[in-house]
Structure 1
Amino acid sequence: MIQLEGVTRRFRSAVGERTALDAVDLTVGEGEVFGVVGRSGAGKSTLVRTINLLERPDAGRVWVDDRDLMGLKPAALRAARRRIGMIFQHFNLLHSRTIRDNIALPLTLEGRSRAETARRVDELMERLGLSEHARKHPAQLSGGQKQRVGIARALACEPSILLCDEATSALDPETTEDILSLLDQLNRDLGLTMVLITHEMEVVRRVCDRVAVMEAGRIVETGATADVFLNPRTAATRSLLAEGESHAATPPPVGGLVARLVFRGARTFEPVLSRVSRETGVDHAILAGRIGRFRDQPYGQLEISLVGGDPQTALARLRADGVEVEVVS
């Protein structure tokens, strides 16, 4: 659905030139929810804005739905952009217009008839729970309601792609969960391809099928969300994940062997560790851990200390039971 090939974007100013994107390659499949994470200044927002050419690359190609957007003439590019909706961190609503008029704006600009526009706006307000707010103005809504208006407006022209640039960063945790649930449902119901730009690792865990990690204008790691988060290959990814963890590992007992365990799927909720400990006579202490989900897939992570008996036998039994094992020390 989306393919970037060698995309480079430079910004020039009086103090010199800065490379925001450095020969980026990226592929997003149809119907996929794809996350892009990284620190501020990594190039995330520039990247998402190249997908609809709001930022035109200095080099490289941008393909959307098998069309090379870089080669399109202005009228054809405008038509292609109608198939790409976009929502923003700060909503970008017109404060002088009602909620209904904000949602209708893309349809009006496209030249839809009043009757067709009214039908589409009614449909979107009903789907996104905005019907009772139709005559209000943005200043009268909460942050979550404003973002729902932004999503409705982005969906007005029935796009096949939805770009989300830090769409939850201005929201509180409860409202963030509400908006993520909405995006997840829209992806499932409408088959939308979504690209989510965020610095919040929990957002990626919650809704993304795959993820790319950016650093200094480059993609340094990409893959299935569970694989990247549970088995990070780069220092940049490990650093981002560490910032999101609230625990600090407890020093292990003297003589203990420390290992990290990863449980996936139904195995997460099975008493594998206690069973292996009982059968091998190897005691364990839990130093740190968490249980969560990558979209629909449950997972568990534990850091444990093994003492007594033969720890290597216990680890071999865990591996045989489908547990991913990494010896730390």
Structure 2
Amino acid sequence: MIRLEGVTRRFRTAAGERTALDAVDLSVTAGEVFGVVGRSGAGKSTLVRTINLLERPDAGRVWVGDQDLMGLKPAALRAARRRIGMIFQHFNLLHSRTIRDNVALPLALEGRPRDLIARRVDELMERLGLAEHARKYPAQLSGGQKQRVGIARALACEPSILLCDEATSALDPETTEDILSLLDRLNRDLGLTLVLITHEMEVVRRVCDKVAVMEGGRIVETGATADVFLNPGAPATRSLLAEGEARTATPRPVGGMVARLVFRGQQTFQPVLSRISRETGVDHAILAGRIGRFRDQPYGQLEISLLGGDPQAAIERLRAEGVEVEVAS
């Protein structure tokens, strides 16, 4: 659905030329939720704005479906952009217009017939829980309601792609969860391809099928969200995860073998560890742990100390059960 090939974007500043994107390659499959995460200044927002050419790359190609957007003339590019909706951190609503008029704006700008606009707006207002707010103005709504208006407006022209640039960063945790649940439903119900730009690791964990980690204008790691989060390879990924989890050093018991375990899927809820302890005679102490989900996939991470018996035999049994084991000491 989306393919970037060698995309480079440079900006001139008072301090000289700055490279925001450095030969970036990226591929997003139709229907998936793809997260792009990194610290401020990593190039995330520039990257998402190249997908619809709001930022035109200095080099490289941008493909959406079977179209190379870089080769399109202005009229054809405008038509291609109708397939790509976009929502923003600060909503970008017109405060002098009602909620209904904000949602109708893209259709009015296209010159759609009034009756068609009315039907489409009614449908979107109902789907996004905004019907009772139709005659209000943005200043009368909460942050979460404003973002719902932004999403409705982005969906007005029935796009196949929705770009989300820090769409939850201005929201409180409860409202963030509400908006993420909404985006998740839209992806499933409408088959939308979503690209989420965020610096919040929990947003990626909650809704994304795949993730790319950016640092210094480059993608330093990419893959399935579970694989990247559970087995991070790049230092930037490990650093972001450590900050997000606010982990502290775990005291090391004297005489025990310390191992890190990863459980995936329904195995997360099975008594694998206690069963193997009984079978091998190896005791264990849990030093740290986390149970959670990557979208629909449950997972567990444990740091344990293996005591007595034959710890290596216990580790081999765990691996035979499909548990990922890393021996720390």
Specify if TM > 0.5. yes
Aligned to 2:324: 324
- 4+ long deviations beyond 3 Å: none
Aligned to 2:263: 263
Q: How many residue pairs end up in the alignment?
A: 329
Unmatched 5+ stretches in structure 1: none
Aligned to 1:42: 42
Equivalent position SS for 2:284: strand
> Given residue 121 of structure 1, which amino acid in structure 2 is its aligned partner?
V
Q: 1:156 Cα deviation (Å)?
A: 0.1
> Given residue 134 of structure 1, which amino acid in structure 2 is its aligned partner?
A
**Take 2:312 and 2:109, find their aligned partners in 1: how far apart are those partners?**
67
Q: 1:252 Cα deviation (Å)?
A: 1.8
Q: 1:14 Cα deviation (Å)?
A: 2.5
Within-5 A mapping of 1:79-228? 79-228=79-228
Q: What CA RMSD, in Å, does the superposition of the two structures yield over aligned residues?
A: 0.6
Equivalent position SS for 2:24: strand
**Take 2:5 and 2:250, find their aligned partners in 1: how far apart are those partners?**
45
Equivalent position SS for 1:252: coil
**Take 1:120 and 1:323, find their aligned partners in 2: how far apart are those partners?**
49
**Take 1:178 and 1:69, find their aligned partners in 2: how far apart are those partners?**
34
Contact 1:248 1:288 (8 Å CA) reproduced? no
Q: 1:162 Cα deviation (Å)?
A: 0.1
Please say which of residues 97-106 and 270-279 is displaced more in the overlay.
270-279
Within-5 A mapping of 1:299-310? 299-310=299-310
Cα deviation 1:269-288 (Å, max 9, x = unaligned): 00111111111111111111
Equivalent position SS for 2:245: coil
**Take 1:214 and 1:52, find their aligned partners in 2: how far apart are those partners?**
19
> Given residue 53 of structure 1, which amino acid in structure 2 is its aligned partner?
L
> Given residue 176 of structure 1, which amino acid in structure 2 is its aligned partner?
T
Q: 1:292 Cα deviation (Å)?
A: 0.4
> Given residue 191 of structure 1, which amino acid in structure 2 is its aligned partner?
G
Equivalent position SS for 1:178: helix
**Take 1:185 and 1:108, find their aligned partners in 2: how far apart are those partners?**
27
Cα deviation 1:12-58 (Å, max 9, x = unaligned): 02220000000000000000100000000000000000000000000
Unmatched 5+ stretches in structure 2: none
Cα deviation 1:184-203 (Å, max 9, x = unaligned): 00000000000000010011
**Take 1:14 and 1:303, find their aligned partners in 2: how far apart are those partners?**
49
Aligned to 2:241: 241
Equivalent position SS for 1:244: helix
Contact 1:3 1:28 (8 Å CA) reproduced? yes
Cα deviation 1:293-320 (Å, max 9, x = unaligned): 0000000000111111111111001001
**Take 1:303 and 1:86, find their aligned partners in 2: how far apart are those partners?**
41
**Take 2:42 and 2:250, find their aligned partners in 1: how far apart are those partners?**
33
Aligned to 1:33: 33
**Take 1:169 and 1:207, find their aligned partners in 2: how far apart are those partners?**
15
Cα deviation 1:145-194 (Å, max 9, x = unaligned): 00000000000000000000000000011100000000000000000000
Contact 1:247 1:288 (8 Å CA) reproduced? no
Contact 1:38 1:198 (8 Å CA) reproduced? yes
Percent of aligned pairs sharing the same letter: 88
Q: 1:247 Cα deviation (Å)?
A: 3.6
**Take 2:247 and 2:159, find their aligned partners in 1: how far apart are those partners?**
42
**Take 2:122 and 2:225, find their aligned partners in 1: how far apart are those partners?**
36
Q: 1:248 Cα deviation (Å)?
A: 2.0
